[in-house]
Amino acid sequence: MLKLSTAIAILNGLASLSHAQKTDNETLILCDCGIGDNKDQPSWSTSRQMNWYKSLVWPDSANKYPAAPEMAVEVPFGNGIYPWNPDGATETMPNGDVWSVYIEEQTPEGFKAGNAVHKDGETLNCWSYHGRPISAAVNKTANHDAICWSAFVCNSDNTSPNRPSDMTPTSTSPSTTAPSTSDFTQQPAPTESSASKVLGIDAALSPRFINWPSNWGTFINNFVWDQVTGNCVGEPFRGPGYTITFECSGVQIDSDTHMTLQLIKALRDVGMDSLWFNQNPIIPGTNISTNATVPTPSWVVMPESLSLTATDVAAQKVIGHLSYTTKYDTFLANPCSSCETARFNANFFDPILEAMKGTFPDYNNYHVQAVCDPWVACF
């Protein structure tokens, strides 16, 4: 289960419900608006807002907008911090409804990222759901036609909204006019970088597996690195019919933290928890107890290649990289292996996120994304 820091507000007295609007199908969408309107930083948003829907019906295509929200409120940066975070953001809708949202910004797509809490105690589940065009922006300072895109969707469901087949990270906005609500609250605030202090981690691994003939700790010990340069200096490992090479590099974060070491820690912990790595798998008819008279063999089934790349998002600069790669001596006529995306779950992402928290306070937001490379591997 993904870790989530949640703040709980205790309200004194009875909350007034005279203006509250509640329905079984209500939805609160947390939006990033104006992406692309800042020509110097086209990946940043120029404003953020909450959209409230009495009963949201999603179109069947990402090239269509949903209907306009019944209400919307702009959400400014709090002390220069992106508002969708675990500390929470609280705003008041035009009818007086008060919503507080507590979000783990780095949550992978489709996973529960936090909660939205109404002042009367009603709670919605919030799901990571980035990249769908939603509505017109309340704040039109940077662009009168600014568009809002989904970041997180909060509802009473137990699963994330479905993603239409044409919804991709590079989805473009529909050619039709974005729907807008006439019932909104605007709180203009200077636009600040939503990418400040963000550390992005890109993971890529092969869908094909290899057997490492020892324990996981021995494998990790092959990442021998120079603390002055931050680079790996160890030798390749020579196995029966294959060679594994080890590479790493990184910058010094502060006097106690080095990016190379954080990446090695991330890989070590992923290998202990993730379904991509199988420690000492049991084969029927083997691994039979010998009353400790014969040592039990240690081995690991793991992807034949993996890489982790750390990027300072604001500077768009790579500050660390780690990888291992397997090369075979001869051509092997084995069947193709395709990507098993179900393995990209909390047990994969959480160890990486925890390792990256070691870079705080230089970085206080962490984004991890993963992909199989290649998607299908054939000999």
What pLDDT was estimated at residue 111? 92
Report the alpha-carbon distance of residue 177 to residue 175 in Å, rounded.
7
pLDDT at 210 over 90: yes
Q: Spell 50-86 as b/e; 16+ CB within 10 A means b.
A: bbbbeebeeeeebbebbebbbbbbbbbbeeebbbbbe
Full-model pTM: 0.51
Structure token digits, residue 6: 């949640």
What pLDDT was estimated at residue 165? 84
What pLDDT was estimated at residue 258? 96
Q: What is the DSSP string of 327-377?
A: EESS---PPPEE--GGGSSHHHHHHHHHHHGGGTTT--EEEEEEEESSSEE
Report the alpha-carbon distance of residue 237 to residue 225 in Å, rounded.
15
Mean pLDDT across the chain, nearest whole number? 82
What pLDDT was estimated at residue 30? 97
Task: Give tens-digit pLDDT for 242-278.
Answer: 999 999 999 999 888 999 999 999 999 999 999 999 8
Return the CA Rg of the chain: 24
Task: Give tens-digit pLDDT for 215-240.
Answer: 999 999 999 999 999 999 999 999 99
> Is the distance from CB of 119 to CB of 19 less than 8 angstroms?
no
pLDDT at 20 over 60: no
Percent with pLDDT over 90 in the chain: 51
pLDDT at 177 over 70: no
Q: Of the ranges 67-76, 196-205, 240-249, which is most confident?
A: 240-249
Structural element, H or E, at residue 219? helix 216-220
pLDDT band at 15 (very low <50, low <70, confident <90, very high): very low
Q: What is the DSSP letter of 211?
A: E
Domain ranges of the chain: 27-155, 184-280+296-377
pLDDT at 201 over 80: yes
